[in-house]
Chain A
Amino acid sequence: MKLVIINYGSGNLHSVNKAFEAVNNNLENPYEIIVTNTPSEILNADKLVLPGVGAFQDCKNAIHKIDGLFESLEQVVIGEKKAFMGICVGMQLLAEKSLEFGECEGFGWIPGEVIKIEAPADYKIPHMGWNEVTFRNHELLNNISQNTDFYFVHSYYFRTQKNENCIATTKYPNPITAAVLKENIYGTQFHPEKSHNNGKQIITNFLEWEPS
């Protein structure tokens, strides 16, 4: 089984790769982890991970700059319904559009838009640090207790159009989407690769997940 981590120059690629490797090494049947941006390798993936930090538009442009990258992703994720996980901006890209630095279209795989966090004046932006997550029961959140802390760094968040696509939230002090899910497409706003043991559990759950 092949797990592809998409390399389009994202700053957290190394951290994501190392965390997935660490978890993968403890699996009974480890994946072959491939860090790549080559369409032919992406087309052979069984699972995919899209990291992302920085501005929405920059990430999107970086993906589209690589010939055939987006098309191969679309084929594997939408066409063949392979398990996909986006992290931070990699998750926000799933939205229809983002309002960060003007309007920018996303992948449009999950209905909703990425908007600025609205918080009272005494709340710092970016929302940076460890915050509690509550969630709907799902195998992707196995062995995680309600109100577990995860590491967040962001100023914008994914407001899903449908409640059913938001499977986890945090509060700052208003509710903020912490994880999205639509069929085989999953994403976390927080950084599992930086969330210590609970983050590793999130990665384990994704590696064990078989979307129906």
Chain B
Amino acid sequence: MLKKRIIPCLDVDRGRVVKGVNFVDLIDAGDPVEQAKIYNSEGADELCFLDITASSDDRETLFEVVKKTAENCFIPLTVGGGVRTIDDISRLLHHGADKVSINTAAVENIDLVAKAAKKYGSSTIVIAVDAKKNGDKSWNIFTHGGRKPTDIDALEYCIEVANLGAGEILLTSMDRDGTKIGFDNELLSTVSSSIDIPVIASGGVGNLEHFVEGVLKGGASALLAASIFHFGEYSIKDVKTYLAEQNIAVRI
């Protein structure tokens, strides 16, 4: 049976982890490669880096991080943040990313989705969607790291990018992000039941039960979390053990 994936996400700024946990054995808690190695050995199913480096001059640091991670962690690595062109995608893949997640650039230039999927394969292209509720079963998407509102309907957008060849949707609830009150399962299930491609749940997870709900109520294929892992509240193993106890298939 296909397993539900647990994906820790690291925010990286100029090559350094922004919110890293002080793992006991960690030589350098700010080093994304060291953090990635720990998640890798703990049984993470994939890794995700979100580059929040503001200046494009400092982007080179990210490539080095991706390269070193790929040399040490033999699980899929998704990298997003500031991906705007085919050339950006190409450089990330060349440095060892397995998938690239695109957010703002896909909204501003929807052709990029089809072009990227055709060039590198659907499975390589993750479309990151930041969605905020604006009514009953209705969500709008935001761009620029959640700073800029749009009048684009989240569900319609997800259907469109899926049709254009996106391989996965990384769906973040802006209402839930950082709240620790659980995923927006209504958003997840609305999108997940309307498209064929996998949906990664993101935003709001605060305890083990939330992971279960993301699968059972949200219909997510994968569950992404940041702070719950970084601050050491739960390990990847804790999450997987709990999911397995609830009869959800995970890779142990």
Contact = CB atoms under 8 A, between A and B. Distances in A.
Contacts of B2: 127, 129-131, 172
Given A124-B197, A154-B123, A200-B74, A58 B118 contact: yes
B126 to A, nearest CB: 10
B242 to A, nearest CB: 18
A131 B96 CA distance: 23
Q: Which of B4, B98, B124 has the most CB of A within 10 A?
A: B98
Nearest to A89: B121
Interface string A11-29: 1101100110010000000
Interface string A31-42: 000000000000
Nearest to A194: B76
Contact of B95 (A14, A54, A55, A124): A14
B74 to A, nearest CB: 5
Contacts of A53: 120-121, 123-124
A70 to B, nearest CB: 21
Contacts of B221: 124, 128-129
A199 to B, nearest CB: 6
A196 interface: yes
Interface string A191-209: 1011111011000000000
Chain B binding site: helix, strand, loop or mixed by DSSP?
A: loop
In the complex, which range does the number of interface residues on chain A fall in?
35 or more
A129 B44 CA distance: 12
Given A55-B121, A126-B197, A128-B167, A14 B70 contact: yes
Given A151-B75, A196-B40, A199-B74, A126 B123 contact: yes
B123 A129 contact: no
A54 B120 contact: yes
Contacts of B196: 124-125
B120 A11 contact: yes
B119 A15 contact: no
Interface string A139-167: 00000000001010111000000000000
B228 to A, nearest CB: 21
A130 B121 contact: no
Contacts of B180: none
Contacts of A64: none
A199 B5 CA distance: 17
Contact of A11 (B45, B118, B124, B222): B124
A128 B168 contact: yes
B80 interface: no
B118 to A, nearest CB: 7
Interface in A113-132: 124-132
B174 interface: no
Contacts of B197: 124-126
A54 B196 CA distance: 18
Contact of B94 (A14, A129, A172, A191): A14
A11 B45 CA distance: 20
Contact of A131 (B1, B94, B95, B167): B1
A193 B121 contact: no
B75 A129 contact: no
Interface in B75-100: 75-76, 93-96, 98
5 contacts: A15-B74, A58-B119, A130-B251, A131-B2, A153-B123
Interface of B: 1-5, 40, 45, 70-71, 74-76, 93-96, 98, 118-124, 167-168, 196-198, 221-222, 251
Given A14-B96, A124-B197, 6 more contacts: A18-B70, A18-B74, A53-B123, A125-B197, A129-B2, A151-B76
Q: Which 10 A-B pairs rank lowest in CB-CB distance, beginning with the nearest?
A: A54-B121, A153-B123, A130-B3, A130-B251, A149-B251, A53-B121, A124-B198, A131-B2, A14-B96, A11-B93
